[in-house]
Structure formats: structure tokens, C-alpha cells
Structure 1
Amino acid sequence: MRTGKATATAMAIALAVVLLCIAPRRVRSASDNRLIVGMTLVRNASAIGALCLDGSLPAYHLHRGFGAGEHNWLLQFEGGGWCNDIPSCLERANTRRGSTRYMTKYEVFSGILSNNASLNPDFYNWNRVKLRYCDGASFAGDAKFDNGTSLLYFRGQRIWRAIIHDLLPKGLGRAQKALLSGCSAGGLASFLHCDNFAEYLPRNASVKCLSDAGFFLDERDISLNHTMRSFYDDLVSLQGVEKNLDKNCTSSLVYPAMCFFPQYTLKYITTPFFILNSAYDVYQFHHILVPSSADVHGHWNRCKLDPAACTDSQLEILQGFRNDMLATLRMFYQYSGRGGLFINSCFAHCQSELQETWLAVDSPKVNNKTISEAVGDWYYSRRVSKEIDCPYPCDKTCHNLIPVSGLPQVHLTEEI
């Protein structure tokens, strides 16, 4: 049963709101040593039709590596939801999620993007790049809408290619080590582009990929409807995504659009991969498992605001969602020798870009290992790194649970 367009639009807007954490002009955090990096527009992108939804040029933020990391590269896909119909995409085109005209020209680099050795010991001196997200299909679409009145460019795949070609002569083409990463919709983009990324780099380079909060499940909601499957089906059709999905995956399924779900394409990825996700990912909890269309009377409202307020029956459903996620990942963590995993039980969404969750004195841990340590151990092959948390509420390191509004507060004292 397909959900209505209003629900689909609400889902897209909700995830975009979850990821809004930077003020539009001047940013100053409570930590005075935050790294702030300026935007680079891809000036020649229009030559290949690589344009944001509104026709503006795509962009990225690059902070150069140094020392031993001078020839190593970390690319981080920005997240921010999707749009799957013309009204929601037109709305998105007039925001920072669909146009570089509305984006902040500076981004705070923290967590995995930090240049502080004590806060990001394994990647601090790499070339670190944040790819801005302005297409609405996880950098995977290739289509155009023009009815004579409205014009939309669904060109995520071309944006991905344009940014890569802009970075190759800047040193990416000579990379010795590389990591393709992303958060949320950007984490999904990591699955979609991982093997293609490796094809651009030298054969002797160590190339790996990481998805943070991008393992969106093909799961029925509490009303037994496939809300997310319907949403993705519309998205893939509208934005011309199918031709850019993994060919091995699309040829193996009756419905090729389902290859937009990581669980179906993961087995075809040959590049080493790390999956960082919460078993109770708040976006999936609120919009896949319990979307508003499945909870019209708001019985889950208190539970969504505070897991401690969930009833026994609601907790049982949440534990079932966790079990389904682990069952879907079982082949990956049991048999993938080059794969890494960190599945914790915090009610979170995106944990690699925030210093508080990536690496801090009180950051989340599984088996006494932080996310930063787990990812570093996996990338550098120091030790096996497949960490799976016990079920909620056993993890006592999850004292800062993510509220319904999204990410923990970044305290801003002044606008930039």
C-alpha cells in the first residue's frame, strides 16, 4: 500500500530538519578551536550538466592534509533527506538542501573531519572533503523536469562525477589511502558509490568506505505498510536513479528500485566497507517503523520523545526492529573478512561528524571501544572491528540520547 504524497513530503522534510545544525552566516561554537572551512564551487560542472536542483553549481569544502597524511584523502557525503515528487523537490530547491545559493559558505569540520590529533587520531592530517548535498537522491539521480513553468535538475550522479574530477588533479588522483564516507542520506550515497570511487584511484591505493546512519531498512511500519519502499520507489522513478544502481543488484531483483536499499546492494560491493549505525536509529524509528501515517492518534508520541516512556509493547516492537537489522547484517559481520561494524544501542542518527559521539571523554562505546577507535582499527587493519551492542537499555554510555528534533545541540554564541 502506497503512502500519500503528503506523507512522503513530510518524511523528506523531517530528515532535512534533523540534519540542520549549522547557522547560515557566522558560526562560533562553545569550543573556540573548531575548524571552519570555506566552500569551493565546481566552476566547470555546468559543462556536463552537473547542477543542483535549482540549477546552481555544486560545491564542496576541502581542508588540506599535511605531514604523513598529505597523500591520504577522506571524502564525506553530506546528508539531508530526499525528495520524491515534484512539489517536495520544488520546495527543496529553494533551500540549502537543493541549492548552493542558500548554503552556508563555511562548514565546521569536527569528528571524523577534525584536524586535531587528539580528537581524530587516525584521519586528522588527511585531506578531508565535505561534499555538499543539493540533489535529493543521495548523489544518484540523472534526469530533468521541465513543464515550461518549473525546472528541476535531478543530477546527483553528475554532481558526484564533477566533484571527483575537480579533486583528482588536486591530489586525489595520487592518493595512497582513501576513505569514502557519509552521514544519513550521505551514508546511503557511500553504499551507492563505493566501488565507483575505487575505480578513480590508483590500483595500489588503500581504498575503503564507511556509512554512518545510512543503512536504511526495507521494513514494514507498525501498520504493516512498506512506507519507505513506496517512498524510494517514487524517488528512483522521478530522479532517474535506476540506471545508476548496481547492475548486479538490479538484474537480480524483480523490482530494481529496491537496490536503493543498502541491504540489497551490500553483497555486491567489493571494496572494504564499514557500517556505523544505531540499532534504534531515530530517523528510521520515527519515519520507517512509526511514520505519522501509521500512528494517526499519536500513541507513540511520548515514546518517540523519550525511550524511557515507551510501554512494554512498544519496547518489544523496537527490539524487533533491532533484531531485523542484525538479521539483515548477519552475513556481513559473520563472513565479510574485510568488513567492519559498529552497531550501538543509542537513540541516535549520525555519529561520525559530531565530536561528542566520535571521540570524547564520555562518547558512546561498545566493548569499551569508541566509534573513532573502531573505525581506525578497521581501516588500518590493527585488529578485527565488529562491535555489536547489547539491547537497550543496557548501554550506560548512551546518556546523551538524541531527541526527536535530531542532533545534540551545538552551542552557538554568535552567527557567522
Structure 2
Amino acid sequence: MVKQLAFSGMLSNKPQFNPDFYNWNKVKVRYCDGASFTGDIEAVDPATNLHFRGARVFNAVIEDLLAKGMKNAEYAVLSGCSAGGLTAILHCDNFRALVPSSTKVKCFADAGYFINGKDVSGVSHIEAFYNDVVNTHGSAKFLPAGCTSKMKPGLCFFPQNMAPTIQTPIFIINAAYDSWQIKNILAPGVADPHGTWHNCKLDITKCSSTQLQTMQGFRLEFLNALNGLGTSPSKGFFINGCYAHCQTEMQETWLRADSPILDGKTIAKAVGDWFYDRSPFQKIDCPYPCDKTCHNRIFDPQENPSPTTYGTRSNDFERIKNFNRNILTVIFLHVALS
């Protein structure tokens, strides 16, 4: 486990790198439960001694922060990246309810808008996986009743299905070609046992014209799923046409001279303007490869072995679980200065 973590990008304490939030108090919460802090199973797994109680952990963390001074906060934000971004979406209203009503609360979700999409074999393996997660962790009771009353609880783990129930202002930051979703939802190893997509997933410039066409279809599927947010100015979004995953905690993509730009704004500027009600922001970028400001991810092949080594569904999704266990969710807040 990493003992030291960098606070950069949205978490930076330097005004030149983070002008709107540099003087806030920031807390990183280690992601520990594998279900975006929604688990609550009373029984302990006798085989593994695992406690599926992420929802209790979330509430305990917030209670501890309130006791440490967050109860006096002028502003508070729940934010996260990847599985932490999903946490920010799933817990946004819960966070609002736990914090004093006098505090201005909003949520930011970076790379957490995972969609229920079909993979290259025509099957939605992610739907089956999310259903297993919800069942394993007993997450259903922490998902919005407005969603679970209409569909299976596993489907309500997807933001596109539960986003319409969110009352608290929330801002979505996501790449339309989210590299994690391309690798694990569109072209997971179980759907690509011969590794046809391997090089493409490592570097988007290595994709064939056919693969790019498939990715353009995935982008449209993602944008359609984004409609669940609605058009209220209390819901903001910055959807760039990049091959990336998590852009708010890296300085080069949050705010730098060469950071990604959408409608003339960096992510930092768009988020800051929206949070402080200077201007709304709901923008979607043009399709790849038109945006030349993108910082497209290139993955190390040594850290991403050929999918022929994990060709079965169980192994493939064990890889997803391991990935998610390493993600942090982020809470940061600002206590009013006297």
C-alpha cells in the first residue's frame, strides 16, 4: 500500500495550479470496499474474513470529519476518480444529508460515469459484474429507491439509471473514450480472447479503422447514457474527446499551459466557474481525433499483459476488482475562515 500520495491538480495548495480550491482543506479517503462504499453485510465471510461494510465506513468517515471541523464548513465537496467518482455519484445526496444545511454542498465525479454498454462480442459483461457486486455487498438498500423500484438493483449501480434521482448539484468530468471503459467494458479480455484489441487499448493511435469505428459507436452510447443527468444548470459536465481516465488529480490535465481545452476552458476553469455559480458548463467535445489538446493515455505493455493470459470471465473480472481496490475516493472541503 502506498504510504505517500501526491496532492496535485484539484488537490494542489498552490494558487497558480489550482486557483479556485487551493486554500481548501482536503482529505483523501482510501478506497477499501470494492463497491464504492455501498456495502453493508452483517455476516463476515468465513472463508476470507472480509467485511462488506463500505456504507458504514463512508458514514463513519463523514462523522469523523464533521467532528474534526467540517460541521463549520462554508463549502464542502464530495469528489472522486474512477471508482471514487462513482462513489461521488452514488453518495452525493447522502453526503448532502450528512453535512449541515448551512454548508454549500456540491459533488464532482471524475471518470466515474460507467455505462452499461455491450462489449465487442455483443454481450454486456459489465451488467453481470455490477449485479454480482450489488448482490455480494448488499448494496441495494443504499441505492435510490426511485431507481430500484423500477429496475433491478444491479442496474441502479450504473449512473445513467440513478442520475435522474440526484438532487444535489453535481459535475461530471469524463473522457468520451474513457480508457478504463474501453479496456474493461467495450473490449475486456473475455470478449477478446485472441488479443485483437490489445495494442489498441494500450495506445489509441494503434487502433485500426474498424476499431476506431467501434470506439466511435461507444462514444455515442456514452453520450446517450449521459442524458440521464438532464439539462438543469445544477448538473454540469465536461466531456472531452480524449483517451484518458481521471483528469482532475493530475496537474497536466487539470490546469497547465497545455491542458485539455473544451469551449475555451480548462477543466479547472469549467469546474470552478460552475461551482461558484459564475457560469454553467455543459459541453461535449468533438469526436476523436479532432481535439489536439488531449493528453491521450499510453499504457506500458509490461503492466498490461496480453489478454490471452486472462481469457475467462472469472479471471477477467477479478482483474477489474483488483483495479478498483486501488482507487481512492476524495473528499475535500473548505472551512470558513474567520
Gaps of 5+ in 1: 1-102, 408-416
Looking at structure 2, the residues matched to 291 and 241 of structure 1 have their Cα atoms a distance apart, in angstroms, of 25
Q: What's 1:268 paired with?
A: 165
Q: What's 2:98 paired with?
A: 200
Structure that is richer in strand per residue:
1
Higher relative contact order (CA 8 A, sep 6+): 2
> CA offsets per residue over residues 74-121 of structure 1, 9 Å max, x none?
xxxxxxxxxxxxxxxxxxxxxxxxxxxxx3333211111111111011
Looking at structure 1, the residues matched to 45 and 96 of structure 2 have their Cα atoms a distance apart, in angstroms, of 38
Letter aligned with residue 326 of structure 1: L
> CA offsets per residue over residues 371-400 of structure 1, 9 Å max, x none?
100100110111121121110000101244
Q: What's 1:95 paired with?
A: none
Looking at structure 2, the residues matched to 204 and 137 of structure 1 have their Cα atoms a distance apart, in angstroms, of 30
Looking at structure 2, the residues matched to 182 and 302 of structure 1 have their Cα atoms a distance apart, in angstroms, of 29
Q: What's 2:284 paired with?
A: 388
TM-score, normalisation: structure 2: 0.86
Cα distance 1:223–1:149, how it changes in 2: closer, same or farther (>3 A)? closer
TM-score, normalisation: structure 1: 0.70
Q: What's 2:201 paired with?
A: 304
Letter aligned with residue 253 of structure 2: T
Letter aligned with residue 372 of structure 1: A
Does the Cα contact within 8 Å between 1:144 and 1:152 map onto a contact in 2?
no
Q: Which of 109, 115, 138 is equivalent to 1:240?
A: 138
Q: What's 1:212 paired with?
A: 110
The residue correspondences of 1:15-414 to structure 2 (distance < 5 A) are: 103-143=1-41, 146=44, 148-253=46-151, 255-330=152-227, 332=229, 335-403=231-299
Does the Cα contact within 8 Å between 1:144 and 1:239 map onto a contact in 2?
no
3-state SS of the aligned residue for 1:151?
A: coil
Looking at structure 1, the residues matched to 82 and 51 of structure 2 have their Cα atoms a distance apart, in angstroms, of 22
Looking at structure 1, the residues matched to 295 and 52 of structure 2 have their Cα atoms a distance apart, in angstroms, of 40
Looking at structure 2, the residues matched to 329 and 303 of structure 1 have their Cα atoms a distance apart, in angstroms, of 25
Cα distance 1:187–1:382, how it changes in 2: closer, same or farther (>3 A)? same
The Cα RMSD (Å) is 1.8
Does the Cα contact within 8 Å between 1:349 and 1:402 map onto a contact in 2?
no
Looking at structure 1, the residues matched to 210 and 299 of structure 2 have their Cα atoms a distance apart, in angstroms, of 21
Q: What's 2:329 paired with?
A: none
Cα distance 1:153–1:119, how it changes in 2: closer, same or farther (>3 A)? same
3-state SS of the aligned residue for 1:108?
A: coil
Looking at structure 2, the residues matched to 340 and 205 of structure 1 have their Cα atoms a distance apart, in angstroms, of 20
Gaps of 5+ in 2: 304-338
Looking at structure 1, the residues matched to 47 and 234 of structure 2 have their Cα atoms a distance apart, in angstroms, of 50
Cα distance 1:399–1:198, how it changes in 2: closer, same or farther (>3 A)? closer
Percent of aligned pairs with the same amino acid: 52
Cα distance 1:185–1:148, how it changes in 2: closer, same or farther (>3 A)? closer
Cα distance, 1:332 vs structure 2? 2.9
Looking at structure 2, the residues matched to 367 and 405 of structure 1 have their Cα atoms a distance apart, in angstroms, of 34
Does the Cα contact within 8 Å between 2:148 and 2:156 map onto a contact in 1?
yes
3-state SS of the aligned residue for 1:154?
A: coil
Q: What's 1:16 paired with?
A: none
Cα distance, 1:145 vs structure 2? 5.4
Does the Cα contact within 8 Å between 1:282 and 1:404 map onto a contact in 2?
no
Cα distance 1:358–1:138, how it changes in 2: closer, same or farther (>3 A)? same
Cα distance 1:270–1:137, how it changes in 2: closer, same or farther (>3 A)? same
Letter aligned with residue 345 of structure 1: G
Letter aligned with residue 132 of structure 1: R
Looking at structure 2, the residues matched to 201 and 173 of structure 1 have their Cα atoms a distance apart, in angstroms, of 7
3-state SS of the aligned residue for 1:105?
A: coil
Cα distance, 1:147 vs structure 2? 5.7
Cα distance, 1:202 vs structure 2? 2.3
Aligned length: 303
Cα distance 1:395–1:295, how it changes in 2: closer, same or farther (>3 A)? same
Cα distance, 1:168 vs structure 2? 0.5
Letter aligned with residue 208 of structure 2: T
Does the Cα contact within 8 Å between 2:111 and 2:173 map onto a contact in 1?
yes
